[in-house]
Structure 1
Amino acid sequence: MLLLCLFVLLFYFSLSPHLVPKTYNIQLNEYSDRDIRAPKQWEDEKATLIAKQEAAERVQTVFNIVALRNENLVDQIFQRMEQINKDSQVTQQNKIDIYRTEIPRRYSTYVDDFVRTNRASGTYNATLLEEMARIVKDQQYTIPEETFYKLPRLTAEQLSEMRTVTRDIVRELMNEQLREAETARTKVAELVNASSLSDRTQREIVQELARYALMPNKFADKEATDEARVLAQENTPKVVMNEGDIVVKDGDLITQEVYERLQALGLLQSKKSYWPHLGVLMLSALFALVLYLFLSHKSGASLSPAKSSYSNSELLMLLLIFFLNLMIMQIIGITQTQNTSFIGYLAPAAMGTMLIVLLLDFHLAMISSILFAMIGSVMFNVSQDRIFDFNYGFIIIVVSFAALFSIHRASQRSTILKAGIMVSLFGSIALLALIMVGEPIERSDLLYSVGFIFASGLLTAIFVIGLMPFFEVTFGILSALKLVELSNPNHPLLRKLLTETPGTYHHSVMVGNLSEAAAEAIGANGLLCRVGSFYHDIGKTKRPSYFIENQSNIENPHDSIDPKLSKSIIIAHARDGVDMLKSHNIPKPLRDIAEQHHGTTFLKFFFHKALKQAEEQGIEPDFTEDDFRYPGPKAQSKEAAIVGIADCVEAAVRSLRNPTMEHVESMINKIIKGRLEDNQFNECDLTMKELDKIAQTLKETVIGIFHSRIEYPEDVKPKERLT
């Protein structure tokens, strides 16, 4: 239960930095005693507003050119003069009065008509037309009074000549961009003097009429200016504070503006809430509950931790694996930012899954993979609008299951590297699939993401290869990889067994074949049984000649010694084997098999021999059956019990001269029944159904091994050839 509480704390401290906002005790108008960084991306609305205002102020006034076509005004004036001068009924004075009144008014009328026409057509916006009319009327030229006295005396020919010159001058000067009409009016005299007019009066009148017809044509467009300023404000980027940016430097004064910024970021302790802490704690407890229910389910219907099939040492190792995996993920998550979110793909999240499946259990590794994916989707989430980033969760699930099925039943260290390659391959496929169905990303980000996923697979393999020996030595875990290494015939103990006790070596190999087949038949660890069988009789190398399988062409030493001494020598091989295995740092599960494979079985042969000697000597026996039993302990695991059965079966079958299938089956059943009645299986969890499977498997395996020596019940006669 304490270990489960530690799991809750581990999950809490892994998740809280990402889910609980950090706050500070800061007072207004005081100096900060540390650097304070933004916990998330945040838009500074006040600074954004100021930036927009500054952008709008930088926009210059928009000026538009209005094509007034002033030559039309010239035509109107000259047409009216031709009309009036040609009328002989109008007196000279009346003509002067008409010109004095009508010509100045025609300027305003022309402008008003232009505004009305263009407003209706929509050529120019209303604001611009109003601004134009105001400025043009303000800059209207006043024709001198004496000019009106000269106009009635002009003939039609003179007016026609003057009209052409005036139109040309006005058109030429109005092609320029004029904000002030006076600028163009100063050039009129020069152009008139250069014209074809020779009469002085004509030139003077053309000058005045041309100046009169000239108007400014470049005006400030308020509406267009406002639109440009609005566009500039819209195009102004938001003032954003990225995650990790310094909000307040050490020693900075906490002004009202800074205080409001800290408040908006949720960094003030006055705004601190304990609800996020409680939520993270509840989430961590749920994760731990998942592990607890799974471990309890492994032991059966009961939820009692005492009945769990995992020891506290194994749970502690599981906790350490979770700690290392989450710590590495946390370190990589620290380097991740919103702009470099692809760094999260570098995390070797499948490392924990591979270690658990190699050192503990396949199904536990599956459950752990789901937990790693859930926690990873929080750790690598750079978005502020959600708690989990299921893109990372999906990637972690895929790479974990790829590692899980690649490393399952691994028998060589090279398998770990192959599993790392599978992690890289399937992780890349999953990433590309997510990109194809989601939003497109930059090509550089895509290359970085795929590259980091490939690197994560290699990192996973490197970490697993490096950490495996640590866990194996520290916790005495016997992984499949370690078992395969210990089964190497070049191991010093196996070399010693082969060279000094070849009979025992052969016997051990045969027991390994039998026990492995029986163990796999009931779902036990077959590889552990095989390797345990290789070492179970290593103690016989101390006194090899006292064991019958090594007595080749020599007399049996037991024929000439006291049966009690023989008993001591035989029994000692289990204890001697354990000592030898300890001296060579052989893991405890293998030592347990060597110590427990005989349990507390009875040495009948030497007991009866001792009884016979006592009867022949006519003395009362000073010993009991218990004195001729192995000291034990009895088998504590299925594997130790299976090796003990296989050891006895192999020796018994080898002792048969002409074994038949019936003899073999009867002997196997007899051995198992004898051990069962002798209570040798009381301390391991073998069931009667499993014992039946073991008996059946041993029979089939023995028949396969010793087929050349086993006589079948009856010969099959060949059919007579038909003639």
Structure 2
Amino acid sequence: MERIRFFLKHTSRVRFVRYLLFLFLGLMLFSVLYWHVKPRQYELRLFDVAKETIRSPITIEDKEATERLKEEAANKVADIYTLKKEYAENRVDLISSLFTAIVDIQEQAKRENEVETDMVGALQERLPPEWFSYLSANEWEALLHAAPEDIKTAKEAAVTAVHLIMRERITQEELDRAREKAADELKYAMLSPSLKEIVIKLTKQAVIPNVVYDRAATEEKRRQVMDEVKPVKILQGQVIVEEGQFITNEIYHQLQLAGLLQNDHSFHPLIGLSMLVLLLLSPLVYYFGRERTNTDLFLFTTIFTITMLIMELVRLLPQGDTVSTGYLVPIAFGTMLVRILLGERIAIMTAILCAVCGSLMFNEEIGANGTVQVSLAIYLLTSGLAGSFFLHQQLRKAKIWQAGLFVAFINMVLILAMILLKNGHYSLSEIGMFLLMALASGIFSAILTIGLLPMLEAAFGILSSIRLIELSNPNHPLLRKILIEAPGTYHHSIMVANLAEAACEAIGANGLLARVACYYHDIGKTKRPRYFIENQISGNPHDHLSPQLSKNIILAHVADGVAILKKHRMPKEIIDIAEQHHGTTLLKYFYHKALEQTGFVLEEEFRYPGPKPQTKEAAIVSIADSVEAAVRSLSSPSQEKIEKIVRAIIADRLQDNQLNECDITLKELEIVARSFCETLNGVFHSRIEYPEIRKEKVKHA
């Protein structure tokens, strides 16, 4: 233990040691958590027989299967055709133009008395070339020589038929049927059979498909259908292959996607865990890098390592079918130890850190939903915070037991709440097992905290609040020794403790440490109690001693006290205050007495050996010690006298440079002075004189 404390003392501010501790924390977190986040992999080949049932550890999309479904859905979409209404108008205009041209040529031939061949040639110039393939030469001649009335009738019948048929959708497949319908419309036209046949042929040719393939609309429809296809996913917990089943191509592909094959070397878990570890360490680096020493970081690392070790041991316990052993983890002991030894802020960070780690370590347990088991994370976080918050006040061992029971109660309530929220159908035995683990978690947390606390305090030389409260017990052997052997000193120590504690609390120093240190600061007086005025009942032995001998006796009480405290293995902080509470002040009474007797003495011979106060607590105890003795010597203390003495003593300490080696400020000294005055005024207040006392005074007068 001494070697550990020696090492910590000499490395408390060494940056290299701090970096090593952070590196150790990061590597420990990574190594412990990696085996819990790394997917289990199997050595399987195509057409092997599965030796066990394999479930997917994650939810992942099978993109190849999704693409196949999208292609199948797109192929089922029929081509989209758009109706072109302008086609009907164009064909009507075309057939109308044909008969108009025939009428014009007939009239022109009549005026010019041209031969028939000239009429056919003129028509060829005015019509598209393909139209002449629809009729024979004789049919064209017959049409050109038809009577104007027949041409008019033919035109009206053909235009009407084309317009009527082309109003409907006509695809390439429906073209023949549409042309037959157009022929049917002309059956009852008032034309000669030969001319009617010619008109029917022309009308049929005038009817064409009026719908065209719409590529944009077809592709848009296919995109819509493909977007509606739901992704094919392998769900977490889904059975990929059952025991005894052949590994088909599809199953092999799914195993590969889930990263369950040994030939898959994915670095994603490594990268993700590294990022998580850095994120978890960031608040610790910030906190310990600014506000704490390496000793505090070493202590936190020790507690956190023990917590992780216990979590790992609990994880190795046999698992039930529906009950996770993660609820048995005594997570609160870590946060309670940190709360007692390092403070509340870092205890909250510890609870969060342990909850995240626990949820990852037990992610293979029953009911895990993803990499992090959310319900267990909530349970561990609440349990850890409950232990820390309950120890907010009055830190003592009995309080730790109460905190353990409180944690157990919170655990049980939380588990019942989560069971009801999940609407799970658990048997009474399963619910009882959950509650039993919650109870055990709280009790084990208290046991571990009480058991590990003394070991950590001894190893790291830590003076915790619990230890201070134990030392303040009036039944402590040293306090009993002061009370019995030096009762005046005991009363003086109690008064100084009241002054020092109130003043320390006022400036934010450790009031409890100051109080307990005051109880023991004059323990050295028990060696020669009669030589100190507060213990003298009749006569002063210094009246018969030389100033030098009296000086030696008075000055020796500091060294005697330090020796007694060290012999009883008292905390270093209390020994330091006992050693520093007089600093290097001058023993003025015996110095001036010796000066009167001899005429010349060295002032250094009548000063305490020191050292001067090194902390705020030591400085306040030093001032309070002198203030209490000075005020107690007053015959009728008043508020004005008390304040005058308090400020005079503080000014004397400043002028004598007794406060140069501690970090107390003038502003804080002003607050200390006001605190001393308030406390002393409350003690030395004026009292009502009872009637019996007044009568006795009159009688004796």
**TM-score scaled by structure 2?**
0.63
Structure 1 394/258 Cα, relative in aligned 2: closer, same or farther at 3 Å? Answer: closer
Task: Give the drift of 1:322.
Answer: 0.8
Please, which of 22, 28, 31 is the counterpart of residue 4 of structure 1? 22
Q: Cα offset for 1:42? A: 6.5
Shift of 1:275: 4.4
Does 1:681 pair with 2:655? no
1:22-59 Cα offsets, whole Å, 9 max, x none, are 779x8999xxxxxx99997679xxxxxxxxxxxxxxxx
2:593 corresponding residue in structure 1? 609
2:278 paired with 1:294? no
Q: 580, 592, 596: which one pairs with 2:580?
A: 596
Classify the secondary structure of the residue corresponding to 1:294. helix
Q: 1:654 aligns with which of 632, 641, 650?
A: 632
1:13 lines up with 2:6 in the alignment = no
Q: Distance in 2 between matches of 1:600 and 1:39?
A: 78
Structure-2 residue corresponding to 1:627: 605
Q: Which runs of 5+ in 1 are unaligned?
A: 30-35, 44-236, 248-255, 297-302, 712-723
The offset of 1:290, in angstroms, is 0.6
- Residue from 647, 652, 668 that aligns with 2:646: 668
Q: How many aligned positions are there?
A: 484
1:266, 1:636 → 2: CA distance?
A: 62
Query: Does 1:271 pair with 2:264?
Result: yes
Conserved? CA contact 2:333–2:445, under 8 Å: yes
Output the CA distance in 1 between the equivalents of 2:273 and 2:493.
55
Confirm whether residue 566 of structure 1 aligns to residue 550 of structure 2: yes
Secondary structure of 1:448 counterpart: helix
Distance in 2, matches of 1:606 and 1:38, equals 93
Give a deviation string over 1:51-102, Cα, whole Å, max 9, x none. xxxxxxxxxxxxxxxxxxxxxxxxxxxxxxxxxxxxxxxxxxxxxxxxxxxx
Distance in 2 (alpha carbons) for counterparts of 1:261 and 1:270: 14
* 2:525 counterpart of 1:547: no
User: Which residue is equivalent to 1:645?
Assistant: 623
In the alignment, the residues of structure 2 paired with residue 508 and residue 606 of structure 1 have an alpha-carbon distance, to the nearest angstrom, of 23
**Partner of 2:609: helix, strand, or coil?**
coil
Residue 563 (structure 2) aligned to one of 579, 592, 599: 579
Q: 1:657 to 1:384 in 2, by over 3 A?
A: closer
Inter-CA distance 571–37: structure 2 relative to 1 (3 Å threshold): farther
Q: How does 1:35-434 map to 2 (within 5 A)?
A: 266=259, 270-296=263-289, 303=290, 308=291, 310-335=292-317, 339-382=321-364, 386-434=370-418
Instruction: Answer yes or no: is 1:435 the counterpart of 2:419.
Output: yes
Deviation at 1:318, TM superposition (A): 1.4
Change (3 A) 1:37 1:611: farther
Q: Which residue of 2 aligns with 1:489?
A: 474
Query: Which residue pairs with 1:222 in the alignment?
Result: none
Give, in whole Å, the separation in 1 of the partners of 2:498 and 2:55: 62
- Gaps (5+ residues) in structure 2? 1-17, 59-237, 690-701
1:658/1:710 contact within 8 Å kept: no
What code does the residue aligned with 1:329 have? M
CA distance in structure 1 between the partners assigned to 2:242 and 2:617 by the alignment: 62
- Residue 267 of structure 1: how far off its partner (Å): 6.7
C-alpha separation between the residues in 2 aligned to 1:489 and 1:269? Answer: 68
Residue identity in the other structure for 1:666: K
Amino acid at match of 1:280: L
Q: Secondary structure at the match of 2:393?
A: coil
Distance in structure 1 (CA, Å) of the matches to 2:448 and 2:497: 33
Backbone CA RMSD of aligned residues: 3.5
Q: Whole-Å Cα distance in 2 between the matches of residues 441 and 469 of structure 1?
A: 45
Contact 1:567 1:606 in 2 (8 A): yes
- Cα deviation per residue 1:527-585 (whole Å; 9 max; x = unaligned)? 2221111111101112222211112202232x343433333322222222111111111
Identity of aligned residues (%): 46
CA contact (8 A) 1:41 1:241 kept: no
Name the amino acid aligned to 1:612.
Answer: E
CA contact (8 A) 2:39 2:57 kept: no
3-state DSSP class of the match of 1:271? coil
**What residue is the counterpart of 1:694 in the other structure?**
672
Give distance in 2, aligned partners of 1:590 and 1:291.
30
Structure 1 position 273, deviation (Å): 3.9
Structure 1: distance between partners of 2:563 and 2:54: 59
Q: How far apart in 1 are the matches of 2:453 and 2:439?
A: 22
Q: 1:565 to 1:438 in 2, by over 3 A?
A: same
- The counterpart of 1:534, out of the listed 515, 519, 531, is 519
Q: In the TM superposition, what whole-angstrom CA distance separates every residue of 1:362-391 from its partner, at most 9, and x where no partner exists?
A: 222122222222222222223676222222
- CA–CA distance in 1 between the matches of 2:505 and 2:688? 25
CA contact (8 A) 2:383 2:407 kept: yes
- Which amino acid in structure 1 is aligned with residue 370 of structure 2? R
Q: Distance in 2 between matches of 1:293 and 1:241?
A: 50
CA distance, structure 2, for counterparts of residue 338 and residue 41 of structure 1: 21
The answer to whether the 8 A contact 2:240-2:251 is kept is no
TM-superposed deviation, 1:340: 4.0
Offset at residue 489 of structure 1 (A) = 2.1
Q: 1:347 to 1:596 in 2, by over 3 A?
A: same
Give CA-to-partner distance per residue, 1:335-356, whole Å, 9 cap, x none: 3758345321111111111111
The amino acid that maps onto 1:343 is T
| 2-structure distance, mates of 1:568, 1:493 | 24
Q: Report the CA distance shift for 1:341/1:677 in structure 2 as closer, same or farther (over 3 A).
A: farther
Residue 350 of structure 2 aligns with an amino acid whose one-letter code is S
Query: How far is the alpha carbon of 1:259 from its aligned partner?
Result: 11
Find the residue that maps to 1:657 and give its secondary structure. Answer: coil
CA contact (8 A) 2:404 2:443 kept: yes
User: Aligned-pair distance for 1:439?
Assistant: 4.5
* Structure-2 change in CA distance of 1:40 and 1:523 (3 Å): farther
Map Cα deviations across residues 574-614 of structure 1 (whole Å, 9 max, x no partner): 22211111111111121122112222223222332333233
Rounded to whole Å, the distance in 1 between the matches of 2:250 and 2:492 is 86
CA distance in 2, matches of 1:404, 1:13: 28
Equivalent pair of 1:336/1:344 in contact (CA under 8 Å): no
Shift of 1:265: 7.5
Taking the aligned partners of 2:456 and 2:314, their CA distance within structure 1 comes to 23
Cα distance in 2 between the residues matched to 1:325 and 1:22 = 25
Q: Distance in 2 between matches of 1:241 and 1:10?
A: 36
- Contact 1:22–1:39 (8 Å) recurs in 2: no
Kindly indicate whether the alpha-carbon contact (under 8 Å) linking 1:287 and 1:371 is maintained by their aligned counterparts in 2: yes
User: Deviation of residue 269 (structure 1)?
Assistant: 6.0
1:614–1:393 distance in 2 versus 1, CA, 3 Å: same
Give 1:458 deviation, angstroms. 1.0
Separation (CA, whole Å) in 1 of partners of 2:688 and 2:523: 29
TM-score by length of 1: 0.61
Which of 495, 520, 528 aligns to 1:510? It is 495
Q: 1:682 to 1:334 in 2, by over 3 A?
A: farther
**In structure 2, do the counterparts of structure 1 residues 39 and 646 end up closer, same or farther at CA, with 3 Å as the change threshold?**
farther
In structure 2, the CA distance between the partners of 1:385 and 1:398, relative to structure 1 (3 Å rule), is closer
* Paired letter, 1:477: I
Match of 1:458 in 2: 443
In structure 1, the partner of 2:698 is: none
